[in-house]
Amino acid sequence: LGVLVNPDHSILASGGFILQVMPEAEEEAIHTLEERLKSIPSVSRMVEKGLTPEEMLKEVVGREIHLLYEQPIRFHCGCSYEKSLAALSSLGTEVLMEYVEKGEEPEILCHFCHERYVIPVSKVEEVIKNREWNETS
């Protein structure tokens, strides 16, 4: 991982890579890779030179590479109101009843994207009723 910082402390550029040794990798190959990592320029220098991820990988492995698949990276969170309801239903009936009795709407916060879901008391009551129905069926 490398980060280049401007004199005003703003980020000029950043980059990095993760290497994962596969279970069947031979010790010699691992040792060769470790030695190679000691001899290549730092990630910050490679970023500063404008190297692409493919060019960085070529530096790491020390030979030409052949990409099998590319996928654009994007920030995406799979949270939803429905998943929040499912999480809420994992709470005990006593806890859910407290929300109903106090008239409080539970809030569920996604720790990945920080989306906040407010669950109406009527939905909490539905969760309780569904649970009771499932227990008697």
Domain of residue 34, residue span? 2-61
pLDDT for the residue numbered 13: 85
Distance CA 137, CA 134 (A): 5
User: 17: closest CA among 33, 1, 4, 6?
Assistant: 1
Question: Is there a single domain that holds both residue 9 and residue 57?
Answer: yes
pTM of the model: 0.51
Q: Does residue 75 form part of some domain? A: no
Give 60: exposed, middle or buried? Use CB within 10 Å, 0-12, 13-18, 19+.
middle
Question: Is there a single domain that holds both residue 45 and residue 91?
Answer: no
Q: Is the pLDDT of residue 73 over 90?
A: no
Terminal-to-terminal C-alpha distance of the chain: 55
Among the listed ranges 10-19, 39-48, 89-98, 126-135, which one has the minimum average pLDDT value?
126-135
Q: Does residue 72 form part of some domain? A: no
Q: Which pLDDT tens digit goes with each residue over 91-101? A: 999 999 999 99
pLDDT for the residue numbered 137: 62
Question: Is there a single domain that holds both residue 6 and residue 57?
Answer: yes
What are φ and ψ of residue 3, in 5° steps? -135, 130
